[in-house]
Amino acid sequence: MRIGIYAVGRLKSGPEKELASRYLDRFAKAGPPSGLELSRMVELTESRAGNAQTRKREEAAELLKSIPDGAMIVVLDERGKALDSEEFATLLGEHRDRGQRDLAIVIGGADGVDPDLRERAKVVLNLGRLTWPHQLVRILIAEQLYRAVTILTGHPYHRV
């Protein structure tokens, strides 16, 4: 299953980008033998619209243009369901095993995700009740993708 990360905003050079890249590189190397691969990382420019509702709508339209047809959409949103790492790995493994070709993980802009895009998502997840800067969200999801592969393959990286 090809997994892409679709984010509003760009990571600037620095330690956050380096750490996210490190985990994405680990995932890209470890994932294919388990049937999971990093297909792409898409960073879109934030909307400059004058109000939050319009910004979210414009950003959602651009995100949807980038996501492959038929992809399972997973939106990261504060109102989503919290999973632990093993549940996240199981989610990926089950959809991979069902033959899902593409999975798109969506990280919205500073105003969040447009409600229509959230409704189109097969899964809406949160990364805990705390509010995280988007730079850290990218690191967290990159690490969890790598961790999911290690869980699915029985690698000792993940310890309970």
**Which tens digits make up the pLDDT trace of 77-109?**
999 999 999 999 999 999 999 999 999 999 999
Q: How do residues 10-58 score in pLDDT, each as one tens digit? A: 999 999 999 999 999 999 999 999 999 999 999 999 999 999 999 999 9
Q: How do residues 52-64 score in pLDDT, each as one tens digit? A: 999 999 999 999 9
Q: How far apart are CA 153 and CA 147, in angstroms?
A: 10
* 76 labeled binding residue: yes
Q: How far apart are CA 26 and CA 76, in angstroms?
A: 22
Please indicate, yes or no, if residue 60 is contained in any of the structural domains. yes
* 112 labeled binding residue: no
Please indicate, yes or no, if residue 108 is contained in any of the structural domains. yes
* 132 labeled binding residue: yes
DSSP 8-state code for residue 155: -
Helix (H) or strand (E) holding 34: none
For residues 108 and 141, is the Cβ–Cβ distance under 8 A? no
Please indicate, yes or no, if residue 158 is contained in any of the structural domains. no
Please indicate, yes or no, if residue 102 is contained in any of the structural domains. yes
* 108 labeled binding residue: yes
pTM to 2 decimals? Answer: 0.95
Please indicate, yes or no, if residue 36 is contained in any of the structural domains. yes
Domains: count for the chain: 1
* 24 labeled binding residue: no
Q: In what order do the strands lie in the sheet with 37-44?
A: 37-44, 2-8, 102-107, 72-82, 123-126
Helix (H) or strand (E) holding 49: none
Which pLDDT does position 137 carry in this prediction? 95
Which pLDDT does position 134 carry in this prediction? 87
Please indicate, yes or no, if residue 57 is contained in any of the structural domains. yes
* 50 labeled binding residue: no
Domain that holds residue 78: 2-153
Q: How do residues 100-140 score in pLDDT, each as one tens digit? A: 999 999 999 999 999 999 999 999 999 998 888 889 999 99
Instruction: Quote the mean pLDDT of the chain.
Output: 95
CATH label of the domain that carries residue 117: 3.40.1280.10
